Structures are given as structure tokens and as C-alpha cells.
Structure 1
Amino acid sequence: MLTPGILARVPREAKVSCKEVFGPVTIVAPYAGFDEALAQVNDSDFGLQAGVFTQDVTRIFQAFRTLEVGGVIANDFPTLRVDNYPYGGVKDSGFGREGVRYAMEEMSEPRMLVINLG
């Protein structure tokens, strides 16, 4: 088991800040307002999912419209995944979607039959 790491005051150009980290690491970054926080998220080559913690429904929908990510999870952890959700990212965070429907499409070959009866 790996001990989780919480990092603060990390420069935006540091590898841990601008590359995908496959481990239990989170960065705490200051922001002056909600719009700046959204801009910081979008200022990335990656966009898997985002977690937004607020009771303000207007801000939840603002985050959903603004964030360049595959999914926005309100008031829960951003790695929440249920098999029937279209789970996946944008930018450099992957290609396509996971989930039952997407798995069925990936394992199937669409075909067509045309019969001209005229």
C-alpha cells in the first residue's frame, strides 16, 4: 500500500503538476475565485474528471459548461465510476469512453443489409 501524498505550493510547471501521476497524490492550489479555479483546471493537457464541492447549483452547472473534462462530479470524489456511465476523458486523458454500452459497441461489428424489392 502506498501512503497518500498531499502537496502544496507546487509550481505549475513541475512534473507532478502538469503530468499524469499514477499514484495517490493530490495538489492543493490556491485560487482567488471560482472562475480562476475553473481556469486552472482547464490550463492542463489532461481532462479526465473533476470534482466540484458546493451547494450552489448555479456553480455546479457553470463548472459543467466550462470545464474541459470528460465528467464533472458534484459533491463527491472525481474518480466516481459506475459501469453504465460514459466514463472517459478529453485532451490527453484517453480515447473513447468506458461503460457497458461502449464495451458492447467495441466488441461488436455493425453490419447492414439492403434488399431492393423493386
Structure 2
Amino acid sequence: GKREGAVLYPTVLVDVTPEMKVVCQEVFAPVISIIPFDDIEDAFRQANDSRLGLQVGLFTANLQLAMRAVHELEFGGVIINDVSTYRADVMPYGGVKDSGIGKEGPRWAVEEMTEERVVVINLS
């Protein structure tokens, strides 16, 4: 893709392999890697075969397939019919496996910075 200073223009990559950094590491840029698959089981297997799991996007009109993705894909967020970078501050945002530590978002940030305690006082 094209780059101007710190700006990387949207890029579509084909003929990539699972060993390439752009596939096996997190890419925080407007880059998409096109990887063919034989069936949906193969697609889910390829997606889950990673040490990372921030978010995944799946486009489908099939609600049954969407719910299957929610249960089978090993990611912190499963976004149906939108891109994997979708987020809103009111929702927990964070990954599983080696993607991130904890969750972002106001409620989750406050919880992460809070040490809960139980105090019991028996005055009798």
C-alpha cells in the first residue's frame, strides 16, 4: 500500500500465508489480508489458529451462522455485519489470548483500577 509519513492508506493483500507478520501479528493499520478457505469450518479454524484474539468481523445474513461464530470464534469481540475495528466506549473492548490486558471502556477501566474490599464491623 501507499504511505505518506505516518499515514498508511487502506491496503488489500492477497497470496498471504499464515507465517507472514501481517497475518500472525496484530496490524493496527487499514490492512486486510485475503485468505481463501474451503468451508466455514476451515475459516473458523484458520481464524482461531492464532495466539491473538482481539476482535473479528463476520458478514452474513444467516443468523444461525452468526450465533455459531459467537460461540466458536476465540476473540474478545465478535462483530456481525461490521468491521472488526468497530467499538463504542460503552461496550467492553479487549482481546483474549495474547491480545491486550483487560478491557477498555469507562466501566471496565474503573473496575480495573478499583480494589474491592469487604468491611465487616461487629459492634456488639
- TM interval, short-chain normalised: over 0.9
Partner residue of 1:29?
35
Partner residue of 1:57?
63
Q: CA deviation at 1:50?
A: 0.6
| Equivalent pair of 2:102/2:112 in contact (CA under 8 Å) | no
Q: Which runs of 5+ in 1 are unaligned?
A: none
Q: Which runs of 5+ in 2 are unaligned?
A: 1-6
Q: Which range is displaced more, 93-102 or 103-112?
A: 103-112
| Residue in structure 2 matching 1:67, options 67, 70, 73 | 73
User: Which letter does structure 2 place at the counterpart of 1:58?
Assistant: Q
1:58-97 to 2 correspondence within 5 Å? 58-97=64-103
User: Which letter does structure 1 place at the counterpart of 2:14?
Assistant: A
Q: CA deviation at 1:12?
A: 1.2
User: Which letter does structure 1 place at the counterpart of 2:74?
Assistant: E
Q: CA deviation at 1:106?
A: 2.8
SS of the aligned residue for 1:55 comes to coil
- Identity, % of aligned pairs? 51
Q: Which range is displaced more, 16-25 or 63-72?
A: 16-25
| Equivalent pair of 2:93/2:105 in contact (CA under 8 Å) | yes
Aligned residue pairs total 118
Partner residue of 2:17?
11
What RMSD in Å do the two structures reach over aligned CA positions? 1.3
Q: CA deviation at 1:18?
A: 0.9
Q: CA deviation at 1:38?
A: 0.7
